[in-house]
Amino acid sequence: MDKKWEIGISKFRICGGVADNIVQKEGKYGRGIFPRDYKLKSKIFVPKNLLINQKDVFLQDDKLKIKDGLNYSKEVLDFFNFYQENFSWGNGGKESTEAFEADLATFPSDVKNLLKKKGIIDIDQRHIQRSINFTLNNFLVNRAFTFMGMTVLAPYLELVNYSPKSSPLLFSREGIYHPEIEISDQEITHHYNFMSSLARWIQFGASVEEPMVFSLPYQFDIKGKDLKCVCLGKSLDKEQVNFPKVNKRLIIEGIPIANINIKKFPINYLTYLFKCVNIELNLDYLLKKIIDYNVKSRIEVIEKISKLDSIYSQSLIKTLSIELKTIENSF
């Protein structure tokens, strides 16, 4: 492992990458990136020539390759092939992606039906087109970085695990940098994006403490108006601007119901939302109803799957428990 790691780092540096004092090993988040020498500074920088457009990759003999005839140097192609085979897709990336989906497939029908009914995840629909390309697409989604309007792969940075308490990556015209890494014996982590704990579990099965909780799908009638509000249950990373009305239904993408850092955020968001559509409601009462529904639904799901003992059923229980605790501590 050490020899291959050093070869990969050397090939990365030849292409202009910076990977100083880092090593891959197991930690509390699974396999991640750590300082090799705890007394020295670590640094990671991926230049733009090593940020591989995801549209440019494909599978050949179950190996992730860059398509022929594109504007990548021989050195970049050589590095990419070696890196993917030894540290990414070919060394646990494919297997870990498949493991989550395989675990979901073992959930009993009654559990799948409840998860679908509550709007958490429709496993059967998700797996209709399950194949090697399905696995690859999930693998790429879980490792996606956005750079100058492109969705790219960022070698070595993709191996750094997520932590909601870490700093986000730094972007420039030259490439993507990990923010300054303090001298420490702790795992190196960074902040990917804003997402609820449940949304992150749905994406790749991880159980992570996030500061915000969003409502599950929920709908309610507006008294005095021939209109129904329909919340789609999405986890938002920015406020909704347009609120379409379809067949007397006001479509709301997502409703925050708890924020551990800004406790008034849910009521403030509802105030903003209904001001945008010029509707007056008792928002305190409405928020309480939505929260009560969400608490009961999460408890119902936990009780339903508590007898399952698979890795990802247990991580779902942990995720829902995290969100219940966040709701409780936000009020």
Domains and CATH numbers, the chain: 2-201 (3.90.1410), 212-329 (no CATH)
Q: Tokens for 153? A: 């792969």
Q: State the pLDDT confidence band at 291, using cuts at 50, 70 and 90.
A: very high
Which one-letter amino acid corresponds to residue 154? A
Cα dihedral sign, 27-45-84-142 = positive
pLDDT-derived band at 1, boundaries 50, 70, 90 = low
How many CB atoms are closer than 10 A to CB 30?
10
Tokens 């490792």, located at residue: 143
pTM of the model as a whole = 0.90
Q: Which of 262, 11, 52 is nearest to 175 (CA)?
A: 52
Q: DSSP character for 155? A: T
Look over the chain and give the mean of its residue pLDDT values, rounded to a whole number: 94
pLDDT score for 270:
94
In 3D, which of 70, 67, 95, 99 has the Cα closest to residue 81?
A: 67
Strand order in the sheet with 52-53: 52-53, 150-153, 145-147
DSSP string of 236-259? PSS------EETTEEEES--EEEE
User: 43 in helix, strand or coil?
Assistant: strand
Average of pLDDT values for 8-34? 93
pLDDT at residue 241 greater than cutoff 90: no
Region 104-123 average pLDDT? 97
Q: How far is CA 131 from CA 98, 255, 304, in A?
A: 10, 34, 29
Contact residues for 228 (Cβ-Cβ < 8 A; gap 6+): 219, 220, 221, 222, 248, 249, 250
Percent of the chain scored above 70 by pLDDT? 100
Is the pLDDT score of 237 beyond 90?
A: no
Amino acid in the structure at residue 115: L
Q: Give the residue from 133, 109, 143, 134 showing the smallest Cα distance to 123.
A: 109
Q: Is the pLDDT of residue 21 over 70?
A: yes
Instruction: Give yes or no for residue 227 having a pLDDT over 60.
Output: yes
Q: Is the pLDDT of residue 67 over 70?
A: yes
Average of pLDDT values for 275-304?
95
- The phi and psi torsions of 27 (rounded to 5 degrees) equal -145, -165
Cβ partners under 8 Å of residue 49, min gap 6? 15, 16, 72, 73, 76
Residue 246: pLDDT band (50, 70, 90) is confident
Render pLDDT for 168-190 as a digit per residue (tens, 0 to 9): 999 999 999 999 998 999 999 99
pLDDT of residue 117: 97
Q: In angstroms, rounded to a whole number, what is the distance separating the alpha carbons of residues 15 and 98?
A: 31
Pull the structure tokens for residue 141. 């989604």
Closest C-alpha to 90, from 80, 103, 75, 100: 80
SS3 category, 193: coil
